[in-house]
Structure 1
Amino acid sequence: MSADPLAPTGKPCAICGKPAVEQFRPFCSQRCKNVDLHRWLSGRYAVPAVEAEEDELGLAEPDEAPPRRRGPLDGA
């Protein structure tokens, strides 16, 4: 027998605090799910990031560019 997808999970909704529903987990409804999506898309939520210097990542531009390979469409 499968669990009811509309049964509360016991954990609170991440938006309004009502019991979350399995179908919309971790939210209680489609509305709360959409509110969360809107917050991400509008930039209200953001994942913090620290920009590393290119040298630290080994991505610095080399002093000389590698020679360009010629392909069949480059001509003779």
Structure 2
Amino acid sequence: MSCPICGEKSDPKFRPFCSKRCADIDLGRWMSGKYAIPSDDPEDIEEAVEEIERQMSKPH
């Protein structure tokens, strides 16, 4: 199995990652919201649209 972050061979100690560094990168992506689980809940969709509208209305 290869590391999903860098593609190197995974280490059983950090599986499925090859190192603590790649595991930490993955955790950081989850915590920052880069990864997300899609939802079909209409309330979630409305909130997402509202957030996009807020972001687009901010001055640069």
Cα RMSD for the two superposed structures: 1.3
- CA offset digits 1:41-67 (Å, max 9, x no partner): 0000000011058xxxxxxxxxxxxxx
Of all paired residues, the percent bearing the same amino acid is: 51
Name the structure where helix makes up a greater proportion of residues: 2
SS in 2 for 1:23: coil
- TM (norm. structure 1) is 0.54
Q: What is residue 51 of structure 1 aligned with on the other side? A: 41
Please, which runs of 5 or more residues in structure 1 have no aligned partner?
Answer: 1-10, 54-76
- TM (norm. structure 2) is 0.68
Largest Rg, 1 or 2: 1
Q: How many pairs does the alignment contain?
A: 43
Q: How does 1:1-76 map to 2 (within 5 A)?
A: 11-51=1-41
Name the structure where strand makes up a greater proportion of residues: 1
- CA offset digits 1:24-48 (Å, max 9, x no partner): 0000000000000000000000000
